[in-house]
Structure 1
Amino acid sequence: MINFKAGNITSKTLIILLAIFLALSFLPDNAFAQKLPPLSVSKENSAPAKQEVALDDPLGRSTPQGTLLGFIRDVDREDYERAAEYLDTRQPPKRAQQLASQLSSVLNHGLSGYLPKLSNKPEGNLEDGLRPNQEKIGVVKTFSGNYDIILERVQRGDDPPVWLFSANTLKFVPEMYRDLGHDRVKQYIPKALRSYKLFEYPAWRWVGLVLVIPLSFLIAWFITRVLFASFRFAFRGRTVTTQNKELIHSIKGPIRILALSLGFYGASFFSYSLLARLFWLRVGETLLIVGLTWLCLRLIDPVVEKLLILRQPGVSSGKIAIARLLRKIVKVFVIITGAIFIFYVAGINLTAVATGLGIGGIAVAFAAQKTLENLFGGVMLIWDQPVRVGDFCRAGDYQGTVEDIGLRSTRLRTLSRTVVSIPNGQLATMSLENYNMRDKNLFRHNIQLRYETSSDQLQFLIAGIRRLLYEHPKVETSGARVRFTGFKNSGLELEIFAYILEAEHPVFLAIQEDLLLRFMNLVEQSGTSFSFPSQTTYIARDVGLNKEKTGKAVEKVDTWRKQGVLPFPDYTPDDIAEFENKLVYPESGSVFHKKA
């Protein structure tokens, strides 16, 4: 039996396509007669004649295909009175009905040719080498020779022209009937099955239909078992990988469908009537399309993985994202292609469908602007690769690891282990911060010391931290710096700035922890401590200003004023040039001062 997994989207899609076809297959007979398309498109003659529009004919005789299907439909119902309306004959009604019965037997047992190729256009095939008003159905091979079955386009009075079996063909029907022999199959069918009708068809035809289906399934099962048994025999003694086993298991369903299509093809060759032959041929073609579509869908994943080597260690996350997007696009394309072929076999006018899709596509494009924006945004994300699958990044207010870049959205696994889906259209316009692209990590901390810390203690601590940064093997020496940056509300602030030579964040955190612990030891060795956010209130008696120092300052400013050298708003250029660079820096005692 053919098993479809309930959770498999691919299988569901194929079941839907098959159901659509079967629904179209069991349309009323007029629809069936009018909608079976030719599988090869006949080119129109470059003659000035325009393509004609089919006028409605009650019997469907406006086209060659409609005439043939209408005739075999009526003779299958054993309605020979109506079947005689498809013959270009002036014989009495009873003789015409007998002629229709004989022609039916001739077509059922002796006609050769691929009937779906018959033109479904009012003017017929103008490039078949026959006269414009003639159409060849096929050839009947008998012991006495081969006979062409010809349709002719006939116009009687003011009625629209219709296609009928030509008078010349009908002239040889009795001879062909004698050569092929009488219909001996019906002689062995019980009379009750021949006389009783269900939905206008003899009961024995329905019995045959019920028998053909399980027989075809049995043939499909047998072919599949033989095929896979042969495969196991051919590869006996060899090591079969897990991937190959999964592949073999996944293609069992499509192979069964293809084998089933062969069974229905076989049923078409052994069908009693021409109509049954066309029906089983049509079912076989549809199952063939479904099987090939399903097989392609099953093979897409392993083929893409093989081409991009996704299962080998060390493959880039960009390839994984591209492969996932490529798989989805190819699968959608395969499903659409399969649906188009099924509609074609079912007789739907693809030109009208394409026109409708074009108009509908414009409307959908306007209605689905955001969807298309997200689609192209996803393509640009994969092409430009600002982030890749597995990267840790910041996108807007979210931080997390990229788990998937899809057609519509990108999923991030946040630090709180939730999943955030961001539409690709928005993500493509965001400023993305990719932490995985770092070549090193920034180490930057500001520490504050108590105000009781003396300048010598501060210099001791700064020198110790600088030396520590220079000595550490994981700190970039050229960018390391330690500076006294200011007097803050709670203490004296030191800025420590350096780059850690590690890109991985967990390793960086370990190095940062080591440095901070060493800084604490240096602060303790200097005799000071870290400050805390606090406020100190000093209570003391006001002793006023120092009169001696105040007098000296006032006297000095008064002297400047009397001499006309008061340095406000600034010193003169000559004064600046006189004492420029006179201050000793680095201060006396510094190692750099000695070298200078």
Structure 2
Amino acid sequence: MFRRFLFVFAILFFAAGASFAQLIADNAESETVGTKVNLSSPYHTTLTFFYNLEESEFHPEKAAQTLDMTDMPDADGAKLSLKLKQVFEGKGIIIRTSSVPNLPNYQDSTSGNTESLYFFDKQKIPGVFLEKKGKQWKFSAFTVSQINELHKETYPYGTAKLLNLLPQIGNDVYLGLHLWQLVGIFFLVFLVFLAHFFFTFLVDKVLVYFFKRVGYQKVGENYLLPVARITSIYLIVLFLALFMPVLQLPAEVWAWIVIILNTLKPFLITVIFYKLVNVIAVYFARLATKTESTLDDQLVPLLRKTLKAFVVVIGTLFILRDGLNLDIIPFLTGLSIGGVAIALAAQDTIKNFFGSVMIFIDKPFQVGDWITSGDIDGTVEEVGFRSTRIRTFRNSVMYVPNGKIADATLDNHGLRNYRRFYTTLTVTYDTPPQLIDQFVIGLRKIVLAHPDTRKDYFNVYFNNLSAYSQDIMFYVFFEVPTWPEELRARHEILIQIVELANTLGVRFAFPTQTLHMESFPEKQTLVPDYSNDSTYYQKKLGEFMQNQLGKKGN
């Protein structure tokens, strides 16, 4: 990437074939300008200013007459005019006189007023404009007062001194460039290669060694090193943007270089922040692993995607504004109006997005939880921007819109502290009460002995007489996190119940029908002989109660 970058600039450096005078003198009457100063229109003032500052016709005192020195009467107009020309050249602004209005009474209709003003470039140099005073068009007094500041802004950090030092090398012309310009280009290319070598050594050697020493080698190599490499290229671009204006390249070539540099700066910053999002995502992913919730593990990818989309959008706006010199205000206005239409057309999408936001805020479930709601029945696998992926027990995958989940009533089985197990154990009617009682006692001991059952609350009782069996309620809870572990605990409990029944001789009942013959010839009838004396039954009841009281006393 860096070699292609240098190759493009090398082509632009040596593509200069036309001088600045040829660019501004389109359809110009050069012989007329050389004999007098004409300030009758924006066209003539512009032509007078630039023509008299060309090397072949260098008359800065005549160019100074195009400046309104009302607010700075003691200033050197010749130096100010030369600085203003250098501002135009340093910012890569090409002035084609054929596009400058040749009307003595010209008025700028785009400024919203009726004053006689002419702006050269409202975006790059909004403070530089011509103003009509009387019958003459001159660079306004405001423009003149801003020349020194604009010059420092265009040539910062003392680079303006090179504008006077470099031409002393020599003004011979080779390949359309002066000798001092060629020397400056080769010296600048040498410094770029030197800076590239230094940053490469710093990033690939020093940083790798540092990350290895502190124990973050993988994080450094996979995430931080790409950021450092792009940052080094960005610093080289800043270096070029700082020193290349000093070379005073032909305006048409330099204008393209300015566009490239101004585009590269926000583009590289966008790439840097785009890669930094991965570093931030790794940091939050480590924080997520320290929490018990699994839902924040899904939040990290969503956060990474959101931040990357935000960086791309903001970076694109800066590239359009700073690189391509486009006014983004109308674009933002149109985007807001179009956003309303898009919002109306994408109501479901927006609803699902805010549904995902509510899921992450309320946390009704976590990844791995078993949830049910209507047709929804399965384990949560992933929560996305639009939908939640649920793995059903048929091993199929359901994609449920987040808006539907946010509005639904969910039954989250994954948040259960205990998993209930309820069944009815049926024993035959010929099982004596004493055996049933011992069987129930044995069942309770099984519950107390199992490691995964809840010991403080369970119910095991002989609680019903059904049509074909005597029923024992078995109602317990398991302290296990997942359904497979619950199945394992059930299996172990049921195996022990069967073993207990076989040991005690308890027979489990199942639906059967038995035919009893109440009377048969020469056989004793099966119909009991019930007594008609009520005192007999009262006596039997008293005996039963005494036996029960005796059992309680023992």
**Which residue matches 1:446?**
424
2:338 counterpart letter in structure 1: G
**TM-aligned CA deviation for residue 478 of structure 1:** 3.1
**Which residue matches 1:63?**
none
**Which residue matches 2:344?**
366
- SS across alignment from 2:505: coil
Is residue 224–residue 279 contact of structure 2 (8 Å, CA) maintained in 1?
no
2:494 counterpart letter in structure 1: L
Give distance in 2, aligned partners of 1:305 and 1:462: 56
Aligned positions of 1:107-126 closer than 5 A: 111-113=85-87, 122=108
- SS across alignment from 2:464: strand
Q: CA RMSD in A?
A: 5.5
Matched, 1:482 2:461: yes
**Which residue matches 2:552?**
594
- SS across alignment from 2:266: helix
| Structure 2 CA distance for partners of 1:402 and 1:262, relative to 1, 3 Å | same
**Which residue matches 2:27?**
81
**Which residue matches 1:258?**
234
Is residue 461–residue 522 contact of structure 1 (8 Å, CA) maintained in 2?
yes
- SS across alignment from 1:498: strand
**TM-aligned CA deviation for residue 424 of structure 1:** 1.0
Residue number among 219, 231, 235 corresponding to 1:243 in the alignment: 219
**TM-aligned CA deviation for residue 479 of structure 1:** 3.0
**TM-aligned CA deviation for residue 244 of structure 1:** 2.0
Matched, 1:339 2:285: no
- SS across alignment from 1:81: coil
**TM-aligned CA deviation for residue 481 of structure 1:** 2.7
- Residue deviations 1:340-367 (CA, integer Å, cap 9, x gap): 1122222333221122112111111111
**TM-aligned CA deviation for residue 262 of structure 1:** 2.9
**TM-aligned CA deviation for residue 498 of structure 1:** 1.4
Is residue 390–residue 402 contact of structure 1 (8 Å, CA) maintained in 2?
yes
| Structure 2 CA distance for partners of 1:426 and 1:588, relative to 1, 3 Å | farther
Give distance in 2, aligned partners of 1:180 and 1:249: 39
- SS across alignment from 1:111: helix
**TM-aligned CA deviation for residue 289 of structure 1:** 0.8
- Residue deviations 1:172-197 (CA, integer Å, cap 9, x gap): xxxxxxx999999996345xx89xxx
**Which residue matches 1:299?**
276
**TM-aligned CA deviation for residue 336 of structure 1:** 1.4
Residue number among 278, 284, 303 corresponding to 1:326 in the alignment: 303
Is residue 413–residue 420 contact of structure 1 (8 Å, CA) maintained in 2?
yes
**Which residue matches 1:567?**
none
Is residue 254–residue 294 contact of structure 1 (8 Å, CA) maintained in 2?
yes
Matched, 1:357 2:357: no
Aligned positions of 1:146-225 closer than 5 A: 151-154=129-132, 188-189=173-174, 221-222=196-197, 224-225=199-200
- SS across alignment from 1:277: helix
Residue number among 421, 428, 443 corresponding to 2:406 in the alignment: 428
**Which residue matches 1:284?**
261
For structure 1, list consecutive stretches of 5 or more residues without a partner in the other structure. Answer: 5-71, 138-148, 170-178, 195-206, 557-578
Matched, 1:381 2:359: yes
1:594 counterpart letter in structure 2: K
**TM-aligned CA deviation for residue 382 of structure 1:** 0.7
Give distance in 1, aligned partners of 2:50 and 2:263: 31
2:85 counterpart letter in structure 1: L
**Which residue matches 2:98?**
none
Give distance in 2, aligned partners of 1:257 and 1:502: 56
1:235 counterpart letter in structure 2: F
1:319 counterpart letter in structure 2: D
Is residue 288–residue 296 contact of structure 2 (8 Å, CA) maintained in 1?
no
**Which residue matches 1:203?**
none
Is residue 321–residue 388 contact of structure 1 (8 Å, CA) maintained in 2?
no
Give distance in 1, aligned partners of 2:47 and 2:401: 70
**TM-aligned CA deviation for residue 538 of structure 1:** 2.8
- SS across alignment from 1:531: coil
Is residue 388–residue 401 contact of structure 2 (8 Å, CA) maintained in 1?
yes
**TM-aligned CA deviation for residue 451 of structure 1:** 4.4
Give distance in 2, aligned partners of 1:400 and 1:411: 10
| Structure 2 CA distance for partners of 1:495 and 1:261, relative to 1, 3 Å | same
For structure 2, list consecutive stretches of 5 or more residues without a partner in the other structure. Answer: 5-17, 59-80, 94-106, 122-126, 145-163
| Structure 2 CA distance for partners of 1:420 and 1:270, relative to 1, 3 Å | farther
Is residue 483–residue 496 contact of structure 1 (8 Å, CA) maintained in 2?
no
- Residue deviations 1:55-81 (CA, integer Å, cap 9, x gap): xxxxxxxxxxxxxxxxx9995646531
**TM-aligned CA deviation for residue 587 of structure 1:** 6.0
1:188 counterpart letter in structure 2: V
**Which residue matches 2:440?**
462
Is residue 444–residue 496 contact of structure 1 (8 Å, CA) maintained in 2?
yes
**TM-aligned CA deviation for residue 372 of structure 1:** 0.8
**Which residue matches 1:499?**
477
**Which residue matches 1:574?**
none
| Structure 2 CA distance for partners of 1:359 and 1:394, relative to 1, 3 Å | same
1:328 counterpart letter in structure 2: K
Give distance in 2, aligned partners of 1:297 and 1:165: 44
Give distance in 2, aligned partners of 1:440 and 1:83: 97
Give distance in 2, aligned partners of 1:354 and 1:319: 34
Size of the aligned set, in residue pairs, is 456
Give distance in 2, aligned partners of 1:532 and 1:133: 105
- SS across alignment from 1:448: strand
| Structure 2 CA distance for partners of 1:284 and 1:517, relative to 1, 3 Å | same
**Which residue matches 2:103?**
none
Moved more, 321-330 or 435-444: 321-330
**Which residue matches 2:159?**
none
Give distance in 2, aligned partners of 1:182 and 1:90: 34
Is residue 586–residue 592 contact of structure 1 (8 Å, CA) maintained in 2?
no
Residue number among 354, 369, 372 corresponding to 1:391 in the alignment: 369
2:350 counterpart letter in structure 1: L
**TM-aligned CA deviation for residue 250 of structure 1:** 2.6
Q: If the length of structure 2 is used for normalisation, what is the TM-score?
A: 0.64
Give distance in 1, aligned partners of 2:544 and 2:361: 55
Moved more, 288-297 or 317-326: 317-326
**TM-aligned CA deviation for residue 328 of structure 1:** 2.6
- SS across alignment from 1:478: coil
Q: If the length of structure 1 is used for normalisation, what is the TM-score?
A: 0.60
